[in-house]
């Protein structure tokens, strides 16, 4: 049966002043007694059982949620809901920010929906829903401590309906304006498959990772990627962001998304073939390298004149060499020499090209760079010519 959501109502807003560390020294006063607040408090939005406030970290805003200090049944700790320097909070004025909290019916106060309201980017005088966060209150178990975590987030101009309980699944439907331009409901499922035991994160079922995706699907995918990155689930964040790039490969932010995809996929890496025993036969490409290789290819295809293009070719060649795919590695080193002869990596690539070609002559079998993990995306189209 589809469960409905019951709202608790708008949180009471109270100014917290400008207490904190304006000069970077000392420690900021605690917004919630017992919960350390290392950043300058900008505005507190408060209601039992949570306290939600805006704070300042260096030069950008963060949104923090904490269990209230007067709740004896739960520990005193806080989590960040949002805090990317160039993210949503940068677009919202402190004075207009509002929050509501809604328990998700049927889950014994273990799941809550937090809505963030702020300026309408198209009509600044209006206050609209900007983002929604599904918050999970965990009970103590063998896998986790009692506490709070962000389980999912998605654009604010949408309605959520729970469609299943085990596993938890829900459908997010965009507003009427988004539907008129091709927006469709998105089905989510909450899974504990992240790298943090007992801290479930949602996933989008049947994501549409191509250019036919609607603006709502793009924003929902971006929200999910940012949440996974904040939770340090970097491999899933990178995979999700890779799909984001395939939705809008020619957007103004595409190069930054491509670079961030490489960084996130590189951050969660089990060593690839670097610990393989000695030998000459090419090794199968490990599954965790397949999306990373695709990320290198995406960047060098879309941005052949990008500042990181030689580095992407070089990194892929190095990882191929570790897996004894010497002929393919030699080809990539050769591409660096030919396309970017004045780059600082070119002299190194020239020497490594010769080493890889020599190693390739000793191979006992032809190499095979096909990975074990299928890639759902079609190849991206080049936007320019190499130098």
- Per-residue pLDDT reduced to its tens digit, 107-150: 877 888 988 888 777 777 778 788 999 988 877 666 666 677 88
Q: How confident is the model at residue 269 (pLDDT cuts 50, 70, 90)?
A: low
What's the average model confidence in pLDDT over 306-310? Answer: 95
Dmax over CA atoms of the chain, in Å, equals 72
Answer for the pair 6, 105: CB distance below 8 angstroms, yes or no.
yes
Closest CA to 298 of 310, 319, 311, 312: 312
Place of tokens 């130098």: 387
Q: Give the C-alpha separation, 375 to 369, whole Å.
A: 13
Token pair in block for residue 366? 């032809």
Token pair in block for residue 70? 């007067």
Q: Give the C-alpha separation, 238 to 163, whole Å.
A: 28
Task: Confirm whether 190 is domain-assigned.
Answer: no
Dihedrals phi, psi of 11, to nearest 5 degrees = -70, 150
Q: How confident is the model at residue 28 (pLDDT cuts 50, 70, 90)?
A: low
| Minimum mean pLDDT range among 79-83, 287-291, 305-309 | 79-83
Q: CB neighbours (10 Å) of residue 9? A: 9
Coil, helix or strand at residue 208 = coil
Q: CB neighbours (10 Å) of residue 178? A: 19
Residue 18, pLDDT above cutoff 50: no
Task: Confirm whether 91 is domain-assigned.
Answer: yes
The parent domain of residue 119 ranges over 1-128
Q: How confident is the model at residue 375 (pLDDT cuts 50, 70, 90)?
A: very low
Q: Give the C-alpha separation, 170 to 111, whole Å.
A: 12
**Number of domains into which the chain is organized:** 1
Q: Give the C-alpha separation, 363 to 337, whole Å.
A: 24
pLDDT given for residue 342 in this prediction: 95
Q: CB neighbours (10 Å) of residue 62? A: 20
Residues 6+ apart with CB under 8 A from 281: 324, 363, 364, 365
Q: Give the C-alpha separation, 302 to 373, whole Å.
A: 22
Q: CB neighbours (10 Å) of residue 71? A: 14
Dihedrals phi, psi of 162, to nearest 5 degrees = -75, 130
Task: Confirm whether 67 is domain-assigned.
Answer: yes
Task: Confirm whether 241 is domain-assigned.
Answer: no
Closest CA to 169 of 104, 236, 243: 104
Task: Confirm whether 356 is domain-assigned.
Answer: no
Task: Confirm whether 31 is domain-assigned.
Answer: yes
Task: Confirm whether 14 is domain-assigned.
Answer: yes
- Four-point Cα dihedral 207, 202, 63, 178, nearest 10: 40
Cut 0.85: pTM above it? no
Token pair in block for residue 143? 């896998």
Is the backbone peptide bond immediately before 49 cis, with ω within 30 degrees of 0? Answer: yes
pLDDT given for residue 338 in this prediction: 96
- Highest averaged pLDDT of the listed ranges 81-90, 220-229, 282-291: 220-229
Residues 60-78: pLDDT tens digits?
888 888 775 455 555 566 7
């Amino acid at each position: 049966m589809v469960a409905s959501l019951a709202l608790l109502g708008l949180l009471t807003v109270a100014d917290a002043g400008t207490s904190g560390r304006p000069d970077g020294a000392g420690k900021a006063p605690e917004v919630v007694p017992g919960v350390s607040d290392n950043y300058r408090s900008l505005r507190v939005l408060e209601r039992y059982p949570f306290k939600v406030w805006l704070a300042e970290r260096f030069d950008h805003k963060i949104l923090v949620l904490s269990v209230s200090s007067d709740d004896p049944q739960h520990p005193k700790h806080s989590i960040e809901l949002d805090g990317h320097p160039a993210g949503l909070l940068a677009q919202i004025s402190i004075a207009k920010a509002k929050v509501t909290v809604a328990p998700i019916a049927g889950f014994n106060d273990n799941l809550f929906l937090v809505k963030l309201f702020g300026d309408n980017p198209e009509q600044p005088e209006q206050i609209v829903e900007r983002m929604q966060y599904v918050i999970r209150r965990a009970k103590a178990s063998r896998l986790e401590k009692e506490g709070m975590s962000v389980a999912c987030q998605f654009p604010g101009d949408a309605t959520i309906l729970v469609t299943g309980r085990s596993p938890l699944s829900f459908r997010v439907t965009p507003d009427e304006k988004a539907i008129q331009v091709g927006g469709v409901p998105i089905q989510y499922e909450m899974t504990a498959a992240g790298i943090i035991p007992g801290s479930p994160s949602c996933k989008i079922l049947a994501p549409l990772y191509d250019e036919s995706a609607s603006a709502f699907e793009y924003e929902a995918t971006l929200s999910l990627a940012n949440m996974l990155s904040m939770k340090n689930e970097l491999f899933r964040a990178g995979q999700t962001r890779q799909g984001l790039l395939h939705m809008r490969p020619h957007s103004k932010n595409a190069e930054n998304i491509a670079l961030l995809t490489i960084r996130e996929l590189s951050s969660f890496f089990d060593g690839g073939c670097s610990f393989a025993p000695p030998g000459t036969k090419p090794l199968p490409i490990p599954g965790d390298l397949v999306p990373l290789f695709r990320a290198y290819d995406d960047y060098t295809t879309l941005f052949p004149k990008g500042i990181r293009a030689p580095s992407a070719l070089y990194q892929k060649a190095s990882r191929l060499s570790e897996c004894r795919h010497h002929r393919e590695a030699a080809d990539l080193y050769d591409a660096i020499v030919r396309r970017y002869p004045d780059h600082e990596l070119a002299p190194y690539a020239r020497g490594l090209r010769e080493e890889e070609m020599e190693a390739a002559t000793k191979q006992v079998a032809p190499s095979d760079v096909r990975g074990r993990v299928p890639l759902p995306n079609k190849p991206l189209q080049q936007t320019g010519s190499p130098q």
